[in-house]
């Protein structure tokens, strides 16, 4: 294969997160030249101020360099300005707004966080959302977990894409709706197989776009499923939002570990300064279906109560380990709508959140 075609193939592996199509097929690669001197091409952006342009350029450079080390420092990519400049009106409309409860459209914005991945943060977020909706509240959910956006799967909305409305430069995403919850997920924009590639600046930009450009309408609760841990992405995200509070999810094994404490400290730090509504202990015990009154504390007991006391925060709920979830994985319906024992636990969580909320 000629090297030019090989370079094109590399570029074909780069998907524009908004269009969901690779940049070659999408007509974004122009005037490609590959020779002994290096690789040059124009990245043709389709609309003014494409927020992904710089990040895509960087990914192009990295991928070409990785595949063809001989072109290190010999890659020249120009971003071609759009032919039609944005009108002053649309530019003003697209200006980023900090997401907040200030204008009264959204009454409560609550981030769900965890020290590590895999503790059930997304499961807790999905179930809290559907329980609040069941109580009659209007609920939105932002799945911002770039390391593994799992909400589309939990809501049975995998492979769907939100509708985009509005004029060029001031587009708005319409969240998808299921079980009374409006959902927007980074997973609708980023193919899971690309997760590694999109972790950097592209993911941050995609998240910012979701935060600023989703048409929620009026909401009682907007829940945000944050990426696990504490990192730069958290600081970026948290700087753009004015939260009502944060909920920390932990399992009994993780409870005493440094990363849970670090998570709590991140919210308490003067720079972030977000009230912690409390801790949710997930997989707190196991109850076999045939012995519904027995509780087996297979991962230890009492840790979350202790942590909540130490940190001066509430223990909002203890969620049992649910056998059906372990066996069957995700059915596309949050389990609190199907399993009575977890339904009860999540109802308690939703009631506790209601108590701590703005009315």
Query: CB-wise, 148 or 180, nearer to ligand ADP?
Result: 148
Query: CB-wise, 148 or 300, nearer to ligand ADP?
Result: 148
CB of 127 to ligand ADP, least distance (A): 9
| Residue 99 contacts residue 109 (beta carbons within 8 Å) | yes
| Residue 129 contacts residue 223 (beta carbons within 8 Å) | yes
CB of 227 to ligand ADP, least distance (A): 9
CB of 119 to ligand ADP, least distance (A): 4
CA distance 139 to 9: 43
Query: CB-wise, 11 or 223, nearer to ligand ADP?
Result: 223
What does the CA dihedral 144, 147, 150, 151 come to, rounded to 10 degrees?
A: 0
Query: CB-wise, 14 or 322, nearer to ligand ADP?
Result: 322
CB of 124 to ligand ADP, least distance (A): 7
CB of 147 to ligand ADP, least distance (A): 8
Neighbours of 111 (CB within 10 A): 25
CB of 219 to ligand ADP, least distance (A): 22
Query: CB-wise, 41 or 267, nearer to ligand ADP?
Result: 267
Query: CB-wise, 176 or 284, nearer to ligand ADP?
Result: 284
Buried residues in 250-274 as b, exposed as e (16+ CB within 10 A) = bbbebbeeeebbebbebbbeeebeb
CA distance 45 to 16: 10
CA distance 18 to 238: 23
Residues that bind ligand ADP (CB under 6 A): 114, 117-123, 148, 150, 228, 282-283, 319, 321-322, 325-326, 329
Which residues lie closer than 8 Å to 35 by C-beta, 6 or more apart? none
Report the relative pairing of strands 106-114 and 181-185 from DSSP bridges. unpaired
CA dist list (Å): 33 to 2, 30, 40, 191, 206: 12, 9, 5, 29, 29
């Amino acid at each position: 294969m000629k090297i030019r075609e090989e370079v094109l193939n590399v570029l074909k592996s780069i998907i524009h997160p908004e269009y969901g199509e690779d940049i070659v097929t999408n007509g974004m690669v122009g005037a490609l030249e590959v020779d002994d001197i290096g690789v040059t091409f124009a990245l043709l952006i389709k609309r003014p101020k494409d927020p992904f342009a710089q990040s895509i350029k960087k990914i192009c450079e990295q991928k070409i360099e990785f595949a063809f080390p001989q072109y290190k420092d010999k890659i020249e990519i120009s971003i071609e300005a759009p032919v039609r400049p944005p009108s002053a009106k649309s530019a003003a409309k697209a200006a980023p707004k900090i997401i907040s409860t200030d204008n009264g459209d959204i009454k409560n914005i609550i981030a769900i966080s965890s020290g590590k991945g895999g503790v059930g943060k997304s499961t807790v977020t999905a179930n809290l959302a559907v329980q609040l909706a069941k109580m009659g509240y209007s609920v939105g959910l932002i799945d911002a977990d770039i390391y593994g956006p799992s909400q589309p799967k939990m809501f049975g909305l995998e492979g769907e894409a939100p509708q985009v409305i509005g004029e060029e430069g001031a587009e708005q995403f319409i969240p998808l709706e299921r079980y009374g919850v409006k959902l927007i997920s980074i997973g609708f924009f980023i193919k899971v197989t690309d997760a590694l590639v999109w972790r950097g600046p592209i993911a941050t930009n995609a998240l910012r776009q979701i935060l600023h450009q989703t048409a929620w309408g009026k909401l009682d609760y907007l829940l945000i499923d944050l990426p696990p841990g504490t990192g730069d992405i958290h600081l970026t995200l948290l700087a753009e939002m004015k939260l009502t509070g944060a909920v920390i999810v932990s399992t009994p094994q993780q409870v005493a570990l440094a990363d849970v404490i670090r998570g709590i400290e991140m919210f308490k730090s003067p720079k972030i300064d977000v009230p912690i509504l409390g801790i949710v202990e997930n997989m707190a015990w196991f109850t076999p279906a045939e012995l519904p009154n027995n509780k087996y504390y297979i991962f230890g007991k009492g840790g979350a109560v202790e942590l909540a006391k130490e940190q001066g925060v509430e223990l909002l709920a203890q969620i049992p380990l649910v056998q059906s979830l372990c066996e069957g994985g995700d059915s596309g319906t949050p389990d609190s709508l199907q399993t009575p024992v977890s339904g009860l636990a999540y109802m308690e969580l939703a009631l506790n959140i209601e108590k701590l909320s703005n009315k």
